Chains A and B, each alone.
Chain A
C-alpha cells in the first residue's frame, strides 16, 4: 500500500510538474462541448435534448487524450522495467497509474461539467445525477484505457490504434451514463442506470489490471 501510494503520488506530481496534461484535457472537454451550440444553433430545446450525450461523448474523448502516454513514458525511459521488477505487483502498478490518470484527467472533468451543463441548457434538477454519473463512470474510462495503453505501449504512434481499441469498450459506460441523466430529466428513476454504471466500473476494476499487466509483461519481452 505504501508503494502504491508512492507511485500514485509520483504520477500526480509528474502530471503537475509537466503542466498541461490536466489543463489540456479540461480545455479539450470545454471546447468540444461548446462546439455543439455553435454547430447546432442556439435552440435551447434541442441543446437540452442532446446535452447529456454531448457531455458524455466529450468526456470519453477527453479521457482518451492523455491515455496514450499512461505507460509509454515509463516504457521509454526504463522506469517500467524497474516497476515490473519491484516488490509491488504489476497489477497494483496498473491500478495506481489508472488512479493517477483519473485524478489528473477524470476529476477535473467532473469539476468543470456543471458549467458545461449550463451551456447545454441542461435541466437544473439533472445536475446532481450528471455529476454522479460522471463520478461513477469516469474511473472505468481510466481503467479500460489502461488496457489499451498497455497494449499499444511499444508502438511509436499508438494513439490512433488506442482509440480504435478503446472506444468500442467505452460504449456500456456511455449508454448507462447518458441514460441515468435522461432518466433524471424525464423524472423517472435514474438509480438502475447508476447501479449498472457502477457495475461496469467495478467489473473493469477487477479485470483490466490483470489484462493490462499481462500486456505490459508481453511488451517488455
Chain B
C-alpha cells in the first residue's frame, strides 16, 4: 500500500518500500562495548508512523543502539528484523531503508552547504531534491557558503537536510536537536511529524525534550 499523499507531497518510497508491511523488530538485543555490557535483552517493535524516543543517562547505550540498528555494530546476541526478515538479509539493507544521523555530521568544511547536502542526497537516492531540503531546514541564505564558516547549529541543520532530501522509511537520529535554536527545532519536529504521517519511522536518541505527538519512549537504564 503506497502512501496516499504521495502525489501531493512528491515524496514517497520506492517500490521495495511499501508502507503496509514495514515493521522493525528488535529481539533480545545484547550490546557490549569494550567487554562491558551496555544493555541486554532489549525488545521493541516499530510500525509505520511510529516514533521511538530513546532516553537514558550518558553511557546507557543510546548511540550504541542506533549504530547497532544501522548495522555499524554487531549485537553480541539477539536479532533485528525488518518486515519479519533478518535485517541483514534484506536486499539493499541498510542503504535503501534508513538514514543514520550520528553526532558526527559527515560534512566537508571545504565544500559549500549545497555541495555537502547534494553529495549525500545523491549518494542515497536518485534525483534527490537537495536544494528544497536545504530550504526546509532554513538554509536558503547559506547555500553557497563553505561549511567551514558555519556555526554548530547551522552545521547540524546541513547534516539533517539529507533526511528531507531523500525519502527513506527509517530515521535513526542521535541527538538531532543538540545545538539547534528553538525555531529550527520546531522545523525539525515538523519534518519528523510529516515523515511519520507519511508512514515513516523515527528512532531518536536525545537528552533534550522533543515534541513528537504520539511517540513512545524507550528508557535505557544505568548499567554501570
Q: Which residues of A contact B (CB under 8 A)?
A: 2-3, 6-7, 10, 13-14, 17-18, 74, 76-79, 81-82, 84-88, 220-221
Q: Are A81 and B72 in contact (CB under 8 A)?
A: yes
Bound Cα distance A14, B70 (Å): 27
**Closest-CB distance, A193 to chain B (whole angstroms):** 40
Contact of B98 among A3, A79, A85 (CB under 8 A): A85
> Given the complex, which residues of B lie within 8 Å of A221, measured CB to CB?
72-74
**A7–B123 CB distance below 8 A:** yes
User: Is the contact region of chain B dominated by helix, strand, or loop, or is it mixed?
Assistant: loop
Asked whether B107 lies within 8 Å of A86 as measured between CB atoms, the reply is no
Binding site for A on B (CB under 8 A): 70-74, 92, 94-96, 98, 100, 102-108, 110-111, 119-120, 122-124, 126
> Which partner residue on chain A sits nearest B71 by CB separation?
A85
How far apart are the CA atoms of A3 and B119 in the complex, in Å?
9
Query: Which residue of B74, B95, B110 is within 8 Å of A85 (Cβ)?
Result: B95
Are A77 and B100 touching (Cβ within 8 A)? no
How far does the Cβ of B17 sit from chain A's closest Cβ, in whole Å?
13
Question: Given A10-B119, A13-B111, A17-B111: A82 and B94 within 8 A (CB)?
Answer: no
Q: Check if B107 sits within 8 Å of A82, measured CB to CB.
A: no
Inter-subunit contact A77/B71 (CB<8 Å) = no
- Residue in contact with B95 in the complex, picked from A2, A77, A87, CB distance below 8 Å: A87
Contact for B100 among A17, A76, A85, CB less than 8 A = A85
Judge whether B106 and A79 touch: CB under 8 Å. Answer: yes
Asked if B111 and A81 sit within 8 Å, CB to CB, the answer is no
A81 to B66, CA, bound (A): 12
| Known pairs A85-B70, A85-B71, A220-B72; A18 contacts B110 (CB<8 A) | yes
From known contacts A81-B72, A87-B92, A220-B72, infer whether A6 and B110 are also in contact, taking CB-CB under 8 Å. Answer: no
**Do B72 and A85 touch across chains, with their CB atoms under 8 A apart?**
yes
Q: Contacts A81-B104, A85-B100 given; 11 further ones with Cβ under 8 A?
A: A3-B122, A10-B111, A10-B119, A77-B106, A78-B105, A81-B70, A82-B100, A82-B123, A87-B95, A88-B95, A220-B72
CA distance A86 to B74 in the complex (A): 17
Q: A7-B123, A87-B124 are in contact. Are A14 and B98 (CB under 8 A)?
A: no
20 contacting pairs across A/B (C-beta < 8 A): A2-B122, A10-B119, A13-B111, A14-B108, A17-B111, A77-B104, A77-B108, A79-B106, A79-B108, A81-B104, A84-B72, A85-B70, A85-B71, A85-B72, A85-B95, A86-B124, A87-B95, A88-B123, A220-B72, A221-B74
